[in-house]
Structure 1
Amino acid sequence: MNAVIYHNPNCGTSRNTLAMLRHVGIEPEVIDYLAHPPSRARLIELIGAAGLSVRDAIRQKGTPYDALGLGDPALSDDALLDAMLAHPILINRPFVQTALGTRLCRPSEVVLEILPPMTRPFIKEDGEVVDAGQRS
Protein backbone atom coordinates (compact mmCIF):
# COMPACT_ATOMS: atom_id res chain seq x y z
CA MET A 1 0.00 0.00 0.00
CA ASN A 2 1.26 3.46 -0.87
CA ALA A 3 1.09 6.22 1.72
CA VAL A 4 2.11 9.84 2.15
CA ILE A 5 2.71 11.51 5.51
CA TYR A 6 3.10 15.24 6.01
CA HIS A 7 5.59 14.92 8.83
CA ASN A 8 7.33 17.06 11.43
CA PRO A 9 10.23 15.05 12.87
CA ASN A 10 10.18 17.21 16.01
CA CYS A 11 6.59 16.17 16.86
CA GLY A 12 6.00 13.03 18.94
CA THR A 13 2.55 12.46 17.43
CA SER A 14 4.02 12.66 13.93
CA ARG A 15 6.89 10.30 14.85
CA ASN A 16 4.44 7.80 16.37
CA THR A 17 2.22 7.95 13.29
CA LEU A 18 5.19 7.35 11.00
CA ALA A 19 6.29 4.44 13.20
CA MET A 20 2.80 2.89 12.99
CA LEU A 21 2.87 3.10 9.20
CA ARG A 22 6.22 1.32 9.18
CA HIS A 23 5.00 -1.18 11.81
CA VAL A 24 2.37 -2.48 9.38
CA GLY A 25 4.93 -2.73 6.60
CA ILE A 26 4.32 0.54 4.77
CA GLU A 27 7.27 2.73 3.85
CA PRO A 28 5.49 6.01 3.13
CA GLU A 29 6.58 9.01 1.16
CA VAL A 30 7.66 11.32 3.98
CA ILE A 31 7.19 15.02 3.32
CA ASP A 32 8.73 17.40 5.83
CA TYR A 33 5.96 19.94 5.40
CA LEU A 34 7.88 22.68 7.21
CA ALA A 35 10.66 22.51 4.61
CA HIS A 36 8.36 21.58 1.70
CA PRO A 37 4.84 22.84 2.40
CA PRO A 38 2.02 21.59 0.21
CA SER A 39 0.63 23.83 -2.49
CA ARG A 40 -2.62 25.64 -1.77
CA ALA A 41 -4.52 23.16 -3.95
CA ARG A 42 -2.92 20.17 -2.21
CA LEU A 43 -3.63 21.61 1.24
CA ILE A 44 -7.28 22.17 0.31
CA GLU A 45 -7.41 18.60 -1.04
CA LEU A 46 -5.94 17.12 2.17
CA ILE A 47 -8.29 19.11 4.42
CA GLY A 48 -11.35 18.16 2.36
CA ALA A 49 -10.39 14.49 2.04
CA ALA A 50 -9.94 14.31 5.82
CA GLY A 51 -13.44 15.74 6.28
CA LEU A 52 -12.22 18.82 8.11
CA SER A 53 -12.87 22.51 7.93
CA VAL A 54 -9.92 24.78 7.25
CA ARG A 55 -10.14 26.01 10.84
CA ASP A 56 -9.99 22.38 12.11
CA ALA A 57 -6.71 21.93 10.26
CA ILE A 58 -4.93 24.85 11.94
CA ARG A 59 -2.48 24.21 14.75
CA GLN A 60 -2.57 26.74 17.58
CA LYS A 61 -0.01 25.45 20.10
CA GLY A 62 3.54 26.62 19.45
CA THR A 63 2.58 28.72 16.44
CA PRO A 64 1.94 32.40 15.62
CA TYR A 65 -1.83 31.69 15.69
CA ASP A 66 -2.62 34.29 18.36
CA ALA A 67 -0.11 36.86 17.12
CA LEU A 68 -1.69 36.70 13.67
CA GLY A 69 -5.21 37.09 15.07
CA LEU A 70 -6.37 33.82 13.56
CA GLY A 71 -8.90 33.23 16.31
CA ASP A 72 -11.17 35.84 14.75
CA PRO A 73 -14.27 33.87 13.64
CA ALA A 74 -14.87 36.39 10.84
CA LEU A 75 -11.71 35.30 8.98
CA SER A 76 -12.45 33.53 5.72
CA ASP A 77 -11.08 30.13 4.75
CA ASP A 78 -8.96 31.93 2.14
CA ALA A 79 -7.38 34.12 4.83
CA LEU A 80 -6.71 31.09 7.02
CA LEU A 81 -5.17 29.18 4.10
CA ASP A 82 -2.99 32.21 3.27
CA ALA A 83 -1.70 32.18 6.86
CA MET A 84 -1.06 28.42 6.79
CA LEU A 85 0.92 28.70 3.58
CA ALA A 86 2.91 31.70 4.82
CA HIS A 87 3.59 29.93 8.14
CA PRO A 88 3.54 26.15 7.55
CA ILE A 89 3.89 25.52 11.30
CA LEU A 90 0.18 26.45 11.39
CA ILE A 91 -0.68 23.30 9.39
CA ASN A 92 -1.73 20.71 11.93
CA ARG A 93 0.08 17.42 11.71
CA PRO A 94 0.45 14.77 10.62
CA PHE A 95 -1.78 14.41 7.62
CA VAL A 96 -1.61 10.87 6.20
CA GLN A 97 -3.05 9.68 2.91
CA THR A 98 -3.37 6.00 1.93
CA ALA A 99 -5.57 4.08 -0.48
CA LEU A 100 -8.05 3.76 2.41
CA GLY A 101 -8.41 7.49 3.00
CA THR A 102 -6.90 10.68 4.38
CA ARG A 103 -6.73 11.61 8.03
CA LEU A 104 -5.28 14.26 10.31
CA CYS A 105 -3.73 11.80 12.75
CA ARG A 106 -4.24 13.51 16.10
CA PRO A 107 -4.04 11.43 18.15
CA SER A 108 -1.69 9.14 16.25
CA GLU A 109 -4.08 6.17 16.60
CA VAL A 110 -6.37 7.84 14.03
CA VAL A 111 -4.00 6.46 11.38
CA LEU A 112 -5.29 2.97 12.19
CA GLU A 113 -8.53 3.89 10.35
CA ILE A 114 -6.63 4.00 7.04
CA LEU A 115 -4.15 1.14 7.54
CA PRO A 116 -4.38 -2.60 7.17
CA PRO A 117 -4.94 -4.31 10.55
CA MET A 118 -1.99 -4.55 12.91
CA THR A 119 -1.11 -8.13 13.65
CA ARG A 120 1.12 -7.41 16.63
CA PRO A 121 1.13 -4.82 19.43
CA PHE A 122 2.75 -1.45 18.97
CA ILE A 123 4.32 0.60 21.76
CA LYS A 124 4.29 4.36 21.30
CA GLU A 125 7.02 6.71 22.47
CA ASP A 126 5.00 7.68 25.52
CA GLY A 127 4.49 4.04 26.46
CA GLU A 128 0.86 3.62 25.47
CA VAL A 129 0.09 0.33 23.77
CA VAL A 130 -1.93 0.10 20.58
CA ASP A 131 -3.35 -3.41 20.30
CA ALA A 132 -4.72 -4.65 16.98
CA GLY A 133 -7.56 -6.34 18.90
CA GLN A 134 -8.76 -3.01 20.31
CA ARG A 135 -9.42 -1.41 16.90
CA SER A 136 -12.96 -0.52 16.01
Structure 2
Amino acid sequence: MALTFYWYPNCGTCQKAKKWLNDHQLTYTEIHIVENPPSRDKITEMYQKSGLELKKFFNTSGHKYRELGLKDKMKSATEQELMDLLASDGMLIKRPLLTNGEKVTVGFKADAFEKVWL
Protein backbone atom coordinates (compact mmCIF):
# COMPACT_ATOMS: atom_id res chain seq x y z
CA MET A 1 0.00 0.00 0.00
CA ALA A 2 1.05 3.56 -0.65
CA LEU A 3 2.42 5.61 2.20
CA THR A 4 0.82 8.87 3.28
CA PHE A 5 3.18 11.26 5.05
CA TYR A 6 1.48 14.01 7.10
CA TRP A 7 4.12 16.62 7.86
CA TYR A 8 4.82 20.26 8.59
CA PRO A 9 7.67 21.53 6.36
CA ASN A 10 9.09 23.86 9.05
CA CYS A 11 9.39 20.99 11.55
CA GLY A 12 12.94 19.67 11.94
CA THR A 13 11.71 16.22 12.95
CA CYS A 14 9.52 16.07 9.85
CA GLN A 15 12.49 17.05 7.69
CA LYS A 16 14.56 14.22 9.21
CA ALA A 17 11.73 11.76 8.59
CA LYS A 18 11.39 12.89 4.98
CA LYS A 19 15.14 12.49 4.46
CA TRP A 20 14.93 8.98 5.94
CA LEU A 21 12.08 8.06 3.60
CA ASN A 22 13.98 9.42 0.61
CA ASP A 23 17.25 7.72 1.66
CA HIS A 24 15.37 4.40 1.81
CA GLN A 25 13.70 5.10 -1.53
CA LEU A 26 10.18 4.75 -0.15
CA THR A 27 7.40 6.28 -2.22
CA TYR A 28 4.90 8.44 -0.37
CA THR A 29 2.32 11.15 -0.79
CA GLU A 30 3.07 14.14 1.38
CA ILE A 31 0.30 16.16 2.99
CA HIS A 32 0.87 19.46 4.79
CA ILE A 33 -0.66 18.66 8.19
CA VAL A 34 -1.59 22.27 8.99
CA GLU A 35 -3.09 23.17 5.60
CA ASN A 36 -4.82 19.78 5.22
CA PRO A 37 -5.15 18.12 8.63
CA PRO A 38 -6.54 14.59 8.64
CA SER A 39 -10.28 14.36 9.18
CA ARG A 40 -11.75 13.18 12.46
CA ASP A 41 -12.58 9.84 10.80
CA LYS A 42 -9.02 9.48 9.47
CA ILE A 43 -7.52 10.32 12.87
CA THR A 44 -9.84 7.80 14.53
CA GLU A 45 -8.83 5.14 12.01
CA MET A 46 -5.11 5.83 12.48
CA TYR A 47 -5.48 5.85 16.26
CA GLN A 48 -7.29 2.49 16.25
CA LYS A 49 -4.69 0.89 13.98
CA SER A 50 -1.69 2.35 15.80
CA GLY A 51 -2.13 0.57 19.13
CA LEU A 52 -0.98 3.78 20.85
CA GLU A 53 -2.60 5.82 23.59
CA LEU A 54 -4.57 8.73 22.16
CA LYS A 55 -2.39 11.24 23.99
CA LYS A 56 0.55 10.08 21.83
CA PHE A 57 -1.17 11.77 18.89
CA PHE A 58 -0.92 15.19 20.55
CA ASN A 59 1.99 17.56 19.96
CA THR A 60 2.49 18.10 23.68
CA SER A 61 5.49 20.39 23.16
CA GLY A 62 3.58 22.67 20.80
CA HIS A 63 2.54 26.23 21.54
CA LYS A 64 -1.11 25.53 20.73
CA TYR A 65 -1.24 22.58 23.16
CA ARG A 66 0.03 24.76 25.99
CA GLU A 67 -2.10 27.74 24.96
CA LEU A 68 -5.27 25.63 25.21
CA GLY A 69 -4.22 24.11 28.55
CA LEU A 70 -4.65 20.61 27.15
CA LYS A 71 -2.39 18.96 29.71
CA ASP A 72 -5.12 19.41 32.30
CA LYS A 73 -8.01 18.79 29.89
CA MET A 74 -6.53 15.44 28.76
CA LYS A 75 -7.45 13.86 32.09
CA SER A 76 -11.18 14.65 31.93
CA ALA A 77 -11.94 14.91 28.20
CA THR A 78 -13.72 12.08 26.44
CA GLU A 79 -12.12 10.25 23.55
CA GLN A 80 -14.62 11.96 21.22
CA GLU A 81 -13.66 15.42 22.52
CA LEU A 82 -9.97 14.64 22.04
CA MET A 83 -10.58 13.40 18.48
CA ASP A 84 -12.48 16.62 17.73
CA LEU A 85 -9.56 18.67 19.06
CA LEU A 86 -7.05 16.81 16.92
CA ALA A 87 -9.18 17.24 13.81
CA SER A 88 -9.65 20.97 14.52
CA ASP A 89 -6.01 22.00 14.19
CA GLY A 90 -3.06 20.26 12.52
CA MET A 91 -0.68 22.00 14.93
CA LEU A 92 -2.12 19.90 17.77
CA ILE A 93 -1.12 16.65 16.06
CA LYS A 94 2.27 15.11 16.77
CA ARG A 95 4.16 14.89 13.55
CA PRO A 96 5.04 13.41 11.28
CA LEU A 97 2.22 10.91 10.91
CA LEU A 98 2.97 8.10 8.49
CA THR A 99 0.46 5.48 7.42
CA ASN A 100 -0.17 2.94 4.71
CA GLY A 101 -3.76 2.37 5.77
CA GLU A 102 -2.84 -0.59 7.98
CA LYS A 103 0.19 0.58 9.96
CA VAL A 104 0.79 3.97 11.58
CA THR A 105 3.77 5.71 13.13
CA VAL A 106 3.59 8.97 15.09
CA GLY A 107 6.69 11.13 15.35
CA PHE A 108 10.06 10.05 14.00
CA LYS A 109 12.65 7.69 15.38
CA ALA A 110 14.84 5.99 12.78
CA ASP A 111 14.81 2.61 14.55
CA ALA A 112 11.01 2.62 14.77
CA PHE A 113 10.72 3.56 11.10
CA GLU A 114 13.07 0.68 10.20
CA LYS A 115 10.96 -1.83 12.13
CA VAL A 116 7.67 -0.67 10.64
CA TRP A 117 8.47 0.55 7.12
CA LEU A 118 11.33 -1.62 5.88
Tell me, yes or no, whether TM beats 0.5: yes
**Which residue is 2:105 aligned to?**
103
**What amino acid does structure 2 have at the position aligned with 1:35?**
E
Q: Distance in 1 between matches of 2:101 and 2:86?
A: 26
TM-superposed CA distance for 1:70, in Å, is 1.4
Residues 49, 102 of structure 2: 8 Å contact kept:
no
**What amino acid does structure 1 have at the position aligned with 2:69?**
G
Relative contact order, higher structure (CA 8 A, sep 6+): 2
C-alpha spacing 1:39/1:94, structure 2 compared with 1 (3 Å): same
Percent identity at matched positions? 24
Which consecutive residues of structure 2, in runs of 5 or more, have no partner in the other structure? none
TM-superposed CA distance for 1:65, in Å, is 1.6
TM-superposed CA distance for 1:92, in Å, is 0.5
Q: Distance in 2 between matches of 1:8 and 1:102?
A: 17
Q: Distance in 1 between matches of 2:110 and 2:61?
A: 17
**What amino acid does structure 1 have at the position aligned with 2:65?**
Y
Q: Distance in 1 between matches of 2:68 and 2:109?
A: 26
> Are positions 1:74 and 2:76 aligned together?
yes
Which consecutive residues of structure 1, in runs of 5 or more, have no partner in the other structure? 117-136
Residues 70, 80 of structure 1: 8 Å contact kept:
no
Q: State the SS of the aligned residue for 1:114.
A: helix
Residues 7, 96 of structure 2: 8 Å contact kept:
yes
Greater shift in the superposed pair: 80-89 or 26-35: 80-89
Q: Distance in 1 between matches of 2:110 and 2:13?
A: 6
C-alpha spacing 1:99/1:67, structure 2 compared with 1 (3 Å): closer
What TM-score comes out, normalization by structure 2 length? 0.85
Q: Which has the larger radius of gyration?
A: 1
Report which of the two has the higher share of helix: 2
Q: 1:1-136 residue pairs with structure 2 within 5 A? A: 2-72=2-72, 73-98=75-100, 101-116=103-118
CA RMSD of aligned residues (A): 1.9
1:75-110 superposed Cα distances (whole Å, 9 cap, x missing partner): 112222222222220000111113772211333442
TM-superposed CA distance for 1:4, in Å, is 1.1
